[in-house]
Structure 1
Amino acid sequence: MVPALPSPIRLQEYGVGIFSLIPTKSALKKALKKRYITVNDMTATSATFINGGESIKLTMPKDLDQDNRLVYALEVLFEDEHLALIHKPAGILVSGNSFKTIANALNQNLKPSKLPDATIPQPVHRLDYATTGILLVGKTSSSIRALNKMFADKTVEKTYHTVTIGTMANDSGTISLAIDDKESQSDYKVIESVSSVRFGQLNWVELKPKTGRRHQLRKHLASIGHPILGDKDYGIEGLLLNGKGLYLHAFSLRFIHPFTGETFLLNDKLPKKFKKIFIQDQW
């Protein structure tokens, strides 16, 4: 039974994560298209609105109802009834059509919310496959909507740490390079630099993206001639580092908790490979 809602909302927005077999928005749309979902015993469509008080049911063919749970341990940095923050390792997608995703591993790693609109936990933003760091997750339908709105309204402050190649002329600055014909902006500040036989200089850099375009930080740094160490897509030919992954880490998130009003600033410690460079240059 749907709890009371402040205003009507489309089922294809409200229903993300309600059912374990359709944990994503794209899966929900497919289930609606195949007429697997009913609201008050009436077949639902993408035009169906939810007002509160409805009974939502999923009926799928038995051969699709399989228990194929991903077994994958995650480090939980913080968790309450509404949301969680977890560490995303490198080498795994946040979500998508693949079986091995952070989204598919959340259920086994987080405690079920006891709130009335508890749902399958869902990431509310993305990190690249090769990027490590802090990821925000909603555990209730209202939390997922509120957190998505916060990202859309740009009220979540994200800080990344990275390692760049080459001598940077400025210790800080702003990169404003359009990506896919859309305005994008990233602020950067050099924390420390070390000499490198192979790369000339390596720089420990703090980044604060002001927009959220795909591969924004990687493209922005490459555009000023200082690509991220280990970036095989936007790096400089002859200066690619193999075997150690991408040196890009989502270090912290600052936001106001949408239900408690508390100001959150949570950090995810730097990977060991970052620290090794600035203790002793190994390249």
Structure 2
Amino acid sequence: MTEEFYYLIEEAEAGLRVDVYLSGKFPGISRSQVQRLIEDDRLLVNARRVKSSHKLKAGDEVEFELPPAVELKVEAENIPLEIIYQDEYLAVINKPVGLVVHPAPGNEHGTLVNALLYHLTDLSSVNGVIRPGIVHRIDKDTSGLLVIAKNDEAHQALSKQLADHSMTREYVALCEGLVKMDQGTIDAPIGRDPRNRLRMGIVPNGRRAVTHYTVQQRYQDMTLVRLRLETGRTHQIRVHMASIHHPVAADPVYGFKKQRVKYQGQMLHARLLGFLHPRDGQPMEFSVPVPEEFRLVLEKLAAEKAGRRV
């Protein structure tokens, strides 16, 4: 069944391209899909057809319709997967940089879920066919640990720990500049950036977000920090560190325009994960070192600080 939508553009949304605006309103819609809507005469601004680059003004009327959704069929794929631990209730995965966690329209293959369906015999059904077993996520270009639920009982127990903040999630990040305080807490609400709906930002009416950080190593002009999440908002660490003017290195969205290091993703790694086993409540904790490329960047920075040639 075709769905119809109507929006009146507010002052805070003025200046956005129509494709940026809609892909922000509907995270499942890509900018290329907006272009197809325009080509199919399914999207109008002030009752007129526009280009995807059209910039909206306050008071503009945006109307569009979405054709009936096509059900995604997720297939098992033989994608290499580092399984740190598994039993009949759960599995702990070390996700590499560049691997998307679950499929989405236009991106049905090559994800962690496709790999899980190949390597594991059972996955919980709590999140449906698109996200089987997925209790929590990390960004495509962030590496590190994820816990996967193999049945619904385990999924519900792990999700509860995630919701009440009893699950331990610790990250390590290389950040721009020299962080002065040896440790600190960033308590700032996060929501959609009103100036750019593709980004998250610190917004007064956002959801509460708390990140604790501890300096691990200072280099010449960069700092290695360990971070513990008290909450788990979208892009939380990346937004919070950017808000104190120490963005995660190599972050293309929240980082500096001129990056000081080259890396295949942002230099953020989920290094430690702790929770109570859903079967008997026994505490479990797992940790993995940073990827080899991450380690080599740190070695180079340490050598430069020591005045050695690299």
Q: TM-score, normalised by structure 2?
A: 0.63
Residue aligning to 1:191: 216
Secondary structure in 2 matching 1:187: strand
Secondary structure in 2 matching 1:280: helix
Residue aligning to 2:96: 89
- Contact preservation (8 Å) 2:97, 2:264: no
For residues 159 and 259 of structure 2, what CA distance do their matches in structure 1 show?
A: 38
Instruction: Tell me by how many angstroms 1:167 deviates.
Output: 1.2
Residue aligning to 1:110: 120
For residues 118 and 148 of structure 2, what CA distance do their matches in structure 1 show?
A: 14
1:107-156 deviation line (CA, Å, top 9, x unaligned)? 2222548x9xxx98512001001000001000012111221122112110
For residues 133 and 210 of structure 2, what CA distance do their matches in structure 1 show?
A: 27
Aligned with residue 254 of structure 1, among 264, 274, 281: 274
Residue aligning to 1:20: none
Taking a change above 3 Å as real, the CA distance of residues 66 and 218 of structure 1, as seen in their structure-2 partners, is closer
Moved more, 152-161 or 231-240: 231-240
Residue aligning to 2:87: 80
Instruction: Tell me by how many angstroms 1:242 deviates.
Output: 4.2
Secondary structure in 1 matching 2:150: strand
* Equivalent residue letter for 2:292: K
Query: Aligned ranges for residues 196-215 of structure 1 at < 5 Å?
Result: 201-215=221-235
- Contact preservation (8 Å) 1:227, 1:235: yes
Secondary structure in 1 matching 2:158: helix
Instruction: Tell me by how many angstroms 1:244 deviates.
Output: 3.1
Taking a change above 3 Å as real, the CA distance of residues 247 and 67 of structure 1, as seen in their structure-2 partners, is closer
Residue aligning to 1:236: 256
Query: Aligned ranges for residues 101-180 of structure 1 at < 5 Å?
Result: 101-112=111-122, 122-180=133-191
For residues 212 and 72 of structure 2, what CA distance do their matches in structure 1 show?
A: 47
* Equivalent residue letter for 1:262: Q
For residues 67 and 262 of structure 1, what CA distance do their matches in structure 2 show?
A: 33
- Contact preservation (8 Å) 1:76, 1:109: no
- Contact preservation (8 Å) 2:75, 2:117: no
For residues 138 and 72 of structure 2, what CA distance do their matches in structure 1 show?
A: 30
- Contact preservation (8 Å) 1:231, 1:240: no
Taking a change above 3 Å as real, the CA distance of residues 191 and 243 of structure 1, as seen in their structure-2 partners, is closer
1:8-62 deviation line (CA, Å, top 9, x unaligned)? xxxxxxxxxxxxxxxxxx9xxxxxxxxxxxxxxxxxxxxxxxxxxxxxxxxxxxx
Moved more, 269-278 or 181-190: 269-278
Query: Aligned ranges for residues 13-32 of structure 1 at < 5 Å?
Result: none
Secondary structure in 1 matching 2:179: coil
Instruction: Tell me by how many angstroms 1:237 deviates.
Output: 2.1
- Contact preservation (8 Å) 1:89, 1:133: yes
* Equivalent residue letter for 2:218: S
Structure 2 residue runs without a partner (length 5+) = 1-27, 29-70, 192-205, 305-310
1:162-205 deviation line (CA, Å, top 9, x unaligned)? 1001011111100112101111110000111112xxxxx12111
Taking a change above 3 Å as real, the CA distance of residues 102 and 260 of structure 1, as seen in their structure-2 partners, is same
Query: Aligned ranges for residues 268-279 of structure 1 at < 5 Å?
Result: 268-279=288-299
For residues 246 and 74 of structure 2, what CA distance do their matches in structure 1 show?
A: 46
* Equivalent residue letter for 2:223: N
Secondary structure in 1 matching 2:219: strand
Structure 1 residue runs without a partner (length 5+) = 1-25, 27-63, 196-200
- Contact preservation (8 Å) 1:175, 1:187: yes
For residues 296 and 122 of structure 2, what CA distance do their matches in structure 1 show?
A: 38
- Contact preservation (8 Å) 1:164, 1:202: yes
* Equivalent residue letter for 2:117: N
Alpha-carbon RMSD? 2.7
Determine what percentage of the aligned residue pairs are the same residue. 32
For residues 77 and 111 of structure 1, what CA distance do their matches in structure 2 show?
A: 16
